[in-house]
Amino acid sequence: MKKKLLSTILQAIVFYALPVIATSVLLYYLVIWLRLIPPQSVTMAAGKPGSAYHEVAVAYQKVLAEDGITLKIIETAGSAENRDLMDNPDGKADIALIQGGITSTNPELNALAAVFPEPLLTFARSDKATSGNPGEWDGYRVATGSTGGGTRAVVQQLAHITGVPALSSDSDFNNQEASEALVRGDLDIAFFVAPLSAPYLQPLYNSTEIKLLPLQHARALANQLPEARWIELYGGAIRYSPAYPPETVPLITMVTKLVARDNLHPALVNRLVRAMIRVHMKPGPLVMDYSFPNTELLDMKADIYSAKLLREGFSPLESFIPYWMAAQINRFAILLLPIVFLLLPLFKVLPALVAWRMRARVYRYYDRLHEIDLQLSDQSDKKPDKEEREKLSKELEEIEAGLRDESLPLRYREQAYIASGHVGFVRRKLQPNR
C-alpha cells in the first residue's frame, strides 16, 4: 500500500509538479531577458541646485513619482559635463539634458525630444555705454560661463568664429554667481545660455542697473554656430508692465534636448515622454516654428518609441492596463512592423507556393506514367510481352495507391482523382485486345 502511495506521489511530481516548476523558471528568465518589468528608478544628469536644468529635473521627478518611479539627480556644471557623463559607457547617468550644438561621440545615445529653447542672453551694466559688438569690449570684465557648462561652450565657439579676445575670458562664474556679481557691479557683462524662466535671471530683469544687450550681427553669428537659430524676443514678452524687454531684441538661440542611452527601458521612455509633455508643453515668451517637446529640432537621432508617442499620442490600452504593459506592447509593435512589411510580399506569394507544392505531389507520378504510356503506344518499336505487362500493371497499381494515399487538402484532392483517371486510361492499353 505504501509502495503504491509512493509511486502515486512520484508520478504526480513527475507529471505535474516538474512541468509547473520548469514553466515558472522559464517564464521568470523570459521576463528578465525581455525586460518586461521596468526598473523603478532612473538617474539623470542635470545641473547645480538653482540652475534651470536642476529645476527641470525636479519637475520631472515629481511627475515620475506619480507612477512610483524614483528620479535620482546628478548635480553637474551643465551641458558639457552632462555630455561627458553620457559619453562614458560606464557613466552613472541614464538620461541627461544637453544643449544643442554640444555633440556626443557615443553612438549608443538617442534623443527623447527637444524640450525647450535656450537663448544666448547678454546682460550689461546700464551705467556704461556698452556696445553690442564684442570687439569693442577691451578692458571690460566679462563672465563667459563656468567650465563644463553650456554657456562656456557657446561663448568659446563665438570666440573661435569672431576672433574677439574679450570672448576668451578665463573667468569661471556659474550662471548664479555671474548674475549676483553683475548686480553687485563686480562684472560689466555676463553671458547666459538659459531658458528665460531661469530663476537667476529674474533679478537681472528687475534691476534698473542691468540691461539686456542685443549682440550686433546676431543673425550672421547664428548661421555660423552649430545648431543655433536666430529668433526675435518681442518687446513685453517677459513682462508686460513695465514692458520687458522694452523693445524687440534679436537673439541667438540653442535648443536643449533630453538624451537617453539606447537601452533605456521602453516603459521609462513612456513615462519620461509624459513628464516632458507635462513640464514643457505650454506657451512661452519665445516664438518658434515648433511647440515643445518635439523631435523636429533635434541635432541627433531620435528614440523611435519616444518619436512615436509624440507623433501619435499614448496608447488607449493605458486606460485598461498598467502603462508598462502598454509600453511593451507598443515596443513589440514597433519591432514587428518592419518584419511584417518584409513578409507582406511572401504572404501574397504563399498561396501560389502552396498550390504549386500540392500539385507537385501529384505531378511527380506522371514521369513514370508517361514512360509506361509510351511503352504501350502503337508507335512503340518493342511491344511488351505478358510478363512485362504484368510488371507494368503492378506499377500502375502502385501509382494509383500512391495517389490515393497522398495527404492532400480537399481543394487539391481533385488533382489526385484526375491523375487516377489517367492511370485507368493507361491501364486499358494493357488489355489483351489492345
**Over the stretch 262-294, which tens digit does the pLDDT of each residue have?**
889 888 888 899 999 999 988 878 777 788 999
> Are residues 140 and 111 in contact, defined by beta-carbon separation less than 8 angstroms?
no
Q: Which residues pair with 111 in a beta bridge?
A: 259, 302
- Contacting residues for 10 by C-beta, under 8 A, at least 6 apart: none
Q: Which residue has the higher pLDDT, 342 or 386?
A: 386
What pLDDT does residue 87 have?
93
Q: What is the mean pLDDT of residues 81-103?
A: 90
**If you average pLDDT over every residue of the chain, what do you get?**
82
Judge whether residue 333 has pLDDT over 70: no
Judge whether residue 398 has pLDDT over 60: yes
> Are residues 150 and 161 in contact, defined by beta-carbon separation less than 8 angstroms?
no
> What DSSP line would sit under 227-289, residue for residue?
T-EEEEE-TTSSBTTTTBSSS-EEEEEEEEEEEEETTS-HHHHHHHHHHHHHHH-S--SS--S
DSSP label at residue 348? H
Q: What is the mean pLDDT of residues 415-421?
A: 84
239, three cell numbers: 513682462
> What DSSP line would sit under 350-398, residue for residue?
HHHHHHHHHHHHHHTTHHHHHHHHHHHSTT-SS---HHHHHHHHHHHHH
Judge whether residue 329 has pLDDT over 70: no
What pLDDT does residue 1 have?
46
- CA dist list (Å): 313 to 274, 277, 322, 333: 10, 11, 16, 15
pLDDT tier, 209 (very low <50, low <70, confident <90, very high otherwise): very high
**What is the gyration radius of the CA atoms in the chain, in angstroms?**
38
CATH code for residues 39-326: 3.40.190.10
pLDDT tier, 197 (very low <50, low <70, confident <90, very high otherwise): confident
pLDDT tier, 227 (very low <50, low <70, confident <90, very high otherwise): confident
Q: What is the mean pLDDT of residues 46-65?
A: 92
| pTM for this predicted structure | 0.66
Helix residue ranges per DSSP H, 102-201: 150-162, 175-184
pLDDT tier, 55 (very low <50, low <70, confident <90, very high otherwise): very high
Judge whether residue 362 has pLDDT over 90: no
User: CA–CA separation, 394 vs 403, rounded Å?
Assistant: 14
What pLDDT does residue 376 have?
78
What pLDDT does residue 178 have?
93
Judge whether residue 433 has pLDDT over 50: yes
Q: Is 345 helix (H, G, I), strand (E, B) or coil?
A: helix
DSSP label at residue 107? T
**Over the stretch 122-154, which tens digit does the pLDDT of each residue have?**
999 998 888 999 989 988 999 998 888 888 989
Whether omega for the bond prior to residue 316 falls within 30 degrees of 0, making it cis, is: no
User: CA–CA separation, 303 vs 273, rounded Å?
Assistant: 11
DSSP label at residue 36? -
User: CA–CA separation, 245 vs 257, rounded Å?
Assistant: 27
- Contacting residues for 181 by C-beta, under 8 A, at least 6 apart: 143, 173, 187, 190
Domain boundaries, the chain: 39-326, 343-428
103, three cell numbers: 555633440
Q: What is the mean pLDDT of residues 409-414?
A: 81
What pLDDT does residue 432 have?
60
